[in-house]
Each structure stands twice: as C-alpha cells, then as structure tokens.
Amino acid sequence: MRTPFISANWKMNKTVDETVLFMKEFIPLVKDTKGVDIVIAPPFTALQTAFSLLKDTNISLSAQNVFYEEKGAYTGEISPSMLTEIGCSYVIIGHSERRQYFNETDEIVNKKIKIAQKYGLAIIMCIGESLAEREAGKTMDILKKQLINGLKHISAENIIIAYEPIWAIGTGKTATTEQAQEAHNFIRGELRSLYGKTAEEIRILYGGSVTPDNIKALMSCQDVDGALVGGASLKADNFAKIVNFKK
Ligand code: 13P
C-alpha cells in the first residue's frame, strides 16, 4: 500500500511573514487528516520559520533544491547538512524550471540525489517532457532517459518520483487521467527494471495544474500516488482542499 503523498512547491513565492500567515491558516485545516503524507516546500529563506511552526504537526518540510557538494567555495549554494539541520526531511531535485533556467542536466540531478540520500533526505525527483517532445511522440523516451540517468547507482531508498509534464505546469492544462496513468504506468515499469519488486512501493506523484477540482480524478488513477502542487498550493484553503481530497 502506497500512502498518498501531497506536496506544495511554493517556488519563488512567499516571504517569511507570508509563510507565517499561511501556516497559521493551513495547520488547523489539515490537523485531523489521516492517511496522507503532507509536505510543504517553501523557499530557503522561510524554511527555518516554517519548521518552527510545523513542529509537532502532521506536516513535513521540504527544500526546493540542494547543491551536490558537502561544503566549500560554492557561493550562493546550500548543502544537504544545512537542510537537515533546520528540519527539512525532503528535497525536490530536478524540477523542470531548474533544468530549463539553470541548466541542470541529468548528471547534475544524479549527483544531487546521491548526496541528498547520503544525508538522509527523502528525494522528490522531477521528470517530464516538453510539449514539443510530446507532440513528436518522444514522451516515453524522455522519461526513460531522465529516470535511468538520474537514478544511476542510486538505491530506491527514500526516492519519490514526480511526473510533471512541462506543458501542464502553470498553464491550467492538466494532463487527462489517461495521459497521467499512461505516463505513471510507464514510469512504474522502468522502476521495476531498476529496482524489481521495490518499485511497487515507490510513490509516483503527478504535477501540473493540480487544483481542488481535478485532484480526485487524478488520485483515482492506479499509479498516481500523490501530487506536487504549485499555484494552487499558495492559498491555504485551496491546498487544504487538495490534501483533503478524500473528504
Ligand atoms: P502548477 O501546479 O502551478 O502547475 O506547478 C506545478 C509544479 O511545477 C509543481 O512542482
């Protein structure tokens, strides 16, 4: 049984003050929610404040990125021990925005996963195709390449995959349940080749224009085990509705 997993990815949104306001509204809305892993990924500057508010709640904390070295002369970067020290349990790695704007390659994603795992962080690894790649019929090739290269010499421990078709991110164009299930089923198959039976335990999240209106249908797909939510996670009541999709 894979426990449903719903994570907010705030991207470059919310100051510390805005984080406090959100948490005060959000925590009571989900305090009785059971059987769902709830995670929020604020920007780096709000992580410590967020952790102080989330302590003793049913909500865990994620970072949106990490660097692949342990320490040293890497101006502007954040190491895995800096994240664990302030209460992060998860880290998002390989988001398409990082691949697109910051030239993150599969090799860099692989190095980041390796060090995050070493420090005991659970990893939300993002993969997904562009519109041009989908239209050219290359979706499964891209997903396979990102999985195989990103997970090279990586064990299945603490790995969560987020399938985020780039054309669905921030566009209001959600993948249909058929498109999501097809991709997730393919990903599960690739994970089986890599990890055997353990693949049945790995959660595969869908991301891309998830809202309170479409979460139920997406979660009804056999291989959709959760969601990574951008825009709709910025308002506490909206995100609570997504987390409480069973109600
Ligand atoms: P939206 O939910 O805003 O489409 O963003 C999805 C995403 O990129 C989550 O990581």
Domain limits, the chain: 5-243
User: CA-to-CA distance for 72 and 55, rounded, in angstroms?
Assistant: 30
Q: Is 196 left (phi over 0), alpha (psi -120 to 50) or beta?
A: left
Residue 1 has a pLDDT of 84
Beta carbons within 8 Å of 161's beta carbon, 6+ residues apart: 124, 125, 127, 147, 187, 191, 202, 203, 204, 205
φ, ψ of residue 185 to 5 degrees: the values are -65, -40
Q: How far apart are CA 35 and CA 247, in angstroms?
A: 12
Residue 94: what pLDDT? 98
pLDDT at 51 (0 to 100): 98
Ligand 1 pocket, mutate which of 13, 99, 210, 239 (most atoms under 8 A from CB): 210
Kindly state if the Cβ of 226 falls inside 6 Å of ligand 1.
Answer: no
Is the pTM above the cut of 0.75? yes
Active site (annotated) includes residue 153: no
CA dist., res. 133 & res. 148, Å (int): 18
Dihedral angle over CA of 45, 47, 50, 51, nearest 10: -150
Out of 97, 104, 164, 190, the active site residue is 164
Do residues 91 and 116 lie in contact, with contact meaning Cβ atoms separated by under 8 Å? yes
CA–CA separation, 57 and 37 (whole Å): 11
Ligand 1 and 208: CB distance under 6 A: yes
List the chain pLDDT tens, one digit each, 247 residues.
Answer: 899 999 999 999 999 999 999 999 999 999 999 999 999 999 999 999 999 999 999 999 999 999 999 999 999 999 999 999 999 999 999 999 999 999 999 999 999 999 999 999 999 999 999 999 999 999 999 999 999 999 999 999 999 999 999 999 999 999 999 999 999 999 999 999 999 999 999 999 999 999 999 999 999 999 999 999 999 999 999 999 999 999 8
Diameter over CA atoms, the chain: 49
Our answer to whether residue 157 is catalytic in this structure is no
Instruction: Compute the distance between CA of residue 192 and CA of residue 111 in angstroms, rounded to an integer.
Output: 22
pLDDT at 247: 85
CATH fold for domain 5-243: TIM Barrel (3.20.20)
| Contact residues for 111 (Cβ-Cβ < 8 A; gap 6+) | 68
Q: How far is the CA of 208 from the centre of ligand 1 (A)?
A: 5
For residue 119 the two structure tokens come to 């420090």
